[in-house]
Amino acid sequence: MKHYTNGAAFIDQEIVPISEAKISILDWGFLHSDATYDVVHVWRGRFFRLNDHMERFYSSMEKLNMAIPYTRKELHSILSSCVKASGLREAYVEMITTRGLPEPGSRDPRTCTNQFFAFAIPFIWITKPQNGLHLIVSERQRIPAESVDPVIKNYHWLDFVMGQFEAFERGGETAVLIDSQGNIKEGPGFNIFSIKDSVLKTPAKGVLQGITRKTVLELATENGFTVIHGNLKPEEARSSDEAFATSTAGGIIPITKIDDQIINGGIIGPITKTLHDSYWKLHDEPKYSAAINY
């Protein structure tokens, strides 16, 4: 079987090389960012928490009045087919539903036929595993949850993108955004945790309920750590004993510098390491992972 090692996509009900995956320029997913998506990763030939990602994907579609003609079992098969066609053992696998095209001359979203796409590409890291992340707290505000619910994964990323430019200008690698009260919210594709006196703290509202975030909350409880869900001020984050980001693109990512403040001497902290190691061990457990039959 020929493998598309740069990635494979499911489009128009067939598997194609990622380079051949195209959508219409008139699709509202492109024109209006009118879409939802989810991303699951494959590690050592196994999906990690695929059911959780699919549940969130279907929930997001329901909240946006979208639907696809595939059951969860069929979606699992499509995603597996993308991975098998790529031959990748470590992969970043995305499922996407767009609003599609309306009837000619119409601006009524009810006339649109939703479109579904999926692809598998080589695994993506927010930062290299051996490096800690240099995080910048941007002065830019996150889109309010009252306007766009961040629990629904979406492509409204212009606030994130401009925050990243700010981070680069200030010598950082990426940024977290704040709300109107100056509280830290989230970054492009990741949640954030601060640790002080062995207590974990993470923003409670106005953020994506990440699957990796969910896993950390479960692991923290299992390891006897207290977790506070609440407002996280920038000065509080900068004075952390430890800090980390959570994302499908990298798992638990230690943060070793926030703005100009070094965290834990610039190295991964003991609690972060405990959670990090526990997280990757789960990838071999059948309860959390599903093998792909290549």
Residue 12 included in any domain: yes
Give strand ranges (E) for 142-241: 174-178, 191-196, 199-202, 226-229
Distance CA 272, CA 283 (A): 17
Tally of structural domains, the chain? 2
| pLDDT tens digits for range 85-114 | 999 999 999 999 999 999 999 999 999 999
Residue 279 and residue 137 share a domain: yes
pLDDT value at residue 127: 82
Residue 263 included in any domain: yes
Helix 72-86 crosses helix 50-63 at what angle (to 10 degrees)? 120
Residue 214 and residue 139 share a domain: yes
Residue 278 and residue 176 share a domain: yes
Q: What is the pTM (predicted TM-score) of this model? A: 0.96
Q: Among 109, 113, 77, which Cα is nearest to 95's?
A: 77
Rounded mean pLDDT of 174-203? 97
| pLDDT tens digits for range 110-133 | 999 999 999 999 999 988 767 799
Residue 127 included in any domain: no
DSSP helix, strand, coil percent of the chain (3-state; round to 5): 30, 30, 40
Residue 246 and residue 140 share a domain: yes
Residue 1 has pLDDT above 80, yes or no: no
Give the range of the structural domain holding residue 140, as residue numbers without chain letter.
133-283
Residue 139 included in any domain: yes
Q: Provide the percentage of residues in the chain whose pLDDT is more than 70.
A: 99
| pLDDT tens digits for range 21-40 | 999 999 999 999 999 999 99
Residue 12 and residue 88 share a domain: yes
Task: Give the domain CATH number at 85.
Answer: 3.30.470.10
Residue 172 included in any domain: yes
Q: What is the dihedral of CA 231, 236, 242, 247, to 10 degrees?
A: 40
Residue 114 and residue 180 share a domain: no
Residue 171 and residue 96 share a domain: no
Task: Give the domain CATH number at 193.
Answer: 3.20.10.10
Average pLDDT taken over every residue of the chain: 96
